[in-house]
Amino acid sequence: MTKMSKLPNDLLEEILSRSPLYSMRAIRLTCKKWNTLAKEESFTKKQLVQTKAAKEFMVIMMMDSKFCLMNINLNKEEDVEPSIKSNGKIINPIGMCRVYHCGGLVCITKSFSNTRDVVWNPYLGQTRWIKPRSHHAYIYAIGYETKKSCRSYKILSSEHNYINIDDERVDYEIYELDSNSWRALDVNSNWATAFYKMDVSVKGNSYTYTDYRGDFLISFDFTTERFGPTLPLPFHSRCGDIVALSSVREEKLAVSLHRCNISRMEIWITNKIEPNNVSWGKLFLTVDMKPLIIDDGIFFIDEEKKVVVVFDKDKEMGNRITAYIIGENGYFRKVDLGDSESFPVRCSYVPSSVEIKQLAKGKSN
């Protein structure tokens, strides 16, 4: 019988890529050869193919006061129920409450008065703690620019300085993971960043929804390090409506509108999205939300299956967190996620083998 260590690399890659994500840490620790193989981009792509074939996608959740990576299986067959399973609890948030994701990296931070932020790759199990230059600055977005086919990851932070009641200045800084350094960003203050609703990254750039003076998207281009023009949405919301953004495997942007006066959610997906331009497709999906009451609007979609996943506290089950999977023609399923003191869902996740360069021991930023 041929030993695993004697198998050719292509066959070994094919076998190991079929392993679930929660086994990746054990695989990497087995030997140096497996660790190197698991970091190859071709290996990651094969795992993504397996994930899609299994009809699953991944999200970051906070359960039992820890962040974890969860697989959501969207089986639509009548005899197979959808499921949500954990890939393991990984990071203790220590009171952190905002999560940003881009290109396989997750940035976790407090909204205000943060002492340290953390960048995390759940796929590789790597982390780096980052100390901001100011205790009054907060993370605004994470993204990357591509240099010679390699991604250079950056974090954008902003600090609001109120000089007087009529004079507010917003200062921006960029943190580069490659150089482990902060630098001031020479951009004009943008009024929209003071009224952000949520941030989603698509293809390395950041898009933020604001309803200040209308419904718009505000983009930030991590290559030029500049804010783009306001981008239109395919609707006009009214006071009390819930608008939310979501990425579609980080390739497209989705937006949902939940009207306050009717129990209906409408969802659109972009045909094209760039920092300076956006085009929206036709109405992608309309779902009946009755009797759900969605407070924050967080949602995920499967474009191929035409289903949306939303989250709510099921009052009939003692305020337990429940995932609802809703689709066309009355399709409706729900999965119990258990009890949680806070709302657990944070963002979708697409795995990547990008490594977080570790700092020299004792080195601080």
What pLDDT, on a 0 to 100 scale, did the predictor assign at position 192?
A: 46
Whether pLDDT at 365 is above 60: no
**72 alpha carbon, distance to own chain's centre:** 14
How many Cβ atoms sit within 10 Å of the Cβ of residue 6? 8
What pLDDT, on a 0 to 100 scale, did the predictor assign at position 14?
A: 82
Could you tell me the pTM of the whole model?
0.81
Residues in the chain: 365
pLDDT bucket at 195, cuts 50 / 70 / 90: very low
**Helical packing angle, 9-16 and 41-53, nearest 10°:** 40
Domain boundaries, the chain: 8-54, 55-348
pLDDT averaged over the chain?
Answer: 78
CATH architecture of 55-348: 6 Propeller (2.120)
What pLDDT, on a 0 to 100 scale, did the predictor assign at position 266?
A: 92
Q: CB of 95 within 8 A of CB of 338?
A: no
What pLDDT, on a 0 to 100 scale, did the predictor assign at position 116?
A: 75
Neighbouring-strand partners of residue 59: 70, 348
202 vs 263, which has greater pLDDT?
A: 202
Q: Among 49-58, 113-122, 176-185, 310-319, which is the least confidently predicted range?
A: 49-58
pLDDT in tens, 74-117: 665 555 566 666 665 566 655 556 788 898 898 888 655 556 78
Q: Among 41-50, 131-140, 304-313, 338-347, which is the least confidently predicted range?
A: 338-347
